[in-house]
Structure formats: structure tokens, C-alpha cells
């Protein structure tokens, strides 16, 4: 089993989770983070550290965010590894808890 970063990380990109990860399995894109499923050891340390409540166990990913399971797989292969905490994105507080940030064509935009 692995953990998955979902929709609410988009445009927030808090990195508190990165700081506690013992295996450095987070990867950083322009707008959010993902977890490499082959590197995650299912320790669950990251989940409670996420201020945006964007990390779920793979078997607990909400139904409307299931596409993030494959998105984490795909993007972890092309995005650079992140191993240290950084500042969140500007405006993170305003974007935190905004629903459906990835709907429609926005998801393709995020993949870049």
C-alpha cells in the first residue's frame, strides 16, 4: 500500500510532509507534490503532517479523487525529488480547501 497526494495540495504545496518522510519519496511539480508509490513504505508519518489534508492511504482516496492514484505514479517518474521543507506557494491559505482544483483541463495543465 502507498499514500497518495490529492487535489487539495494543488496551489498550496505545503511541504511539512516532506520533512517527516524517512525514505524521501516525495516529488515536486510546479503546483503540488506527489508520492512515488514504489518508494513509499506506508509508514503513515506524512498524512497527519499535511495541513491541507491532501494525503490519503491509497485505499482511502475519496471516490472523486481516484485519478490522483495514477497521477502520483506518472508524475513521480518525471518530477524532481524533494527532500527538505520549503515555503508553501504564495496564496496557499486562500487555495487551501478550495474544492475541485483539478477539474477538467486544469488537470492537464498541472501535469506540465
Assigned domain for 65 exists: yes
Assigned domain for 39 exists: yes
| Total number of domains in the chain | 1
Domain hosting 14: range is: 3-84
H or E stretch at 35: strand 33-35
> All 3 cell numbers of residue 44?
503513515
Residue 52 sits in a domain of what CATH number? 3.30.70.20
pLDDT digits (tens, 9 = 90+) for 68-103: 999 999 999 999 999 999 999 998 888 887 877 775
Report the pLDDT value the prediction gives residue 42, as an integer from 0 to 100. 96
Assigned domain for 108 exists: no
Cβ neighbours of 57 (radius 10 Å):
13
Whole-angstrom Cα distance, residue 112 to residue 41?
27
Residue from 59, 47, 41 nearest 17 by CA: 47
> All 3 cell numbers of residue 53?
489534508
Is residue 67 scored above 90 in pLDDT? yes
Residue from 2, 9, 17, 16 nearest 65 by CA: 9
Give the single-character DSSP code of 84. Answer: S
What would the mean pLDDT of 5-20 be, rounded to a whole number? 94
Amino acid at each position: 500500500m502507498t499514500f497518495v497526494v490529492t487535489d487539495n495540495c494543488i496551489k498550496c504545496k505545503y511541504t511539512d510532509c516532506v520533512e517527516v518522510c524517512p525514505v524521501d519519496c516525495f516529488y515536486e511539480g510546479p503546483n503540488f507534490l506527489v508520492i512515488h508509490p514504489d518508494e513509499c513504505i506506508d509508514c503513515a508519518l506524512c498524512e497527519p503532517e499535511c495541513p491541507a489534508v491532501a494525503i490519503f492511504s491509497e485505499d482511502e482516496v475519496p471516490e472523486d479523487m481516484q485519478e490522483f492514484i495514477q497521477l502520483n505514479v506518472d508524475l513521480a517518474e518525471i518530477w524532481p525529488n524533494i527532500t527538505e521543507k520549503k515555503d508553501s506557494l504564495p496564496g496557499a491559505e486562500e487555495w487551501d480547501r478550495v474544492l475541485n482544483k483539478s477539474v477538467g483541463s486544469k488537470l492537464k495543465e498541472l501535469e506540465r
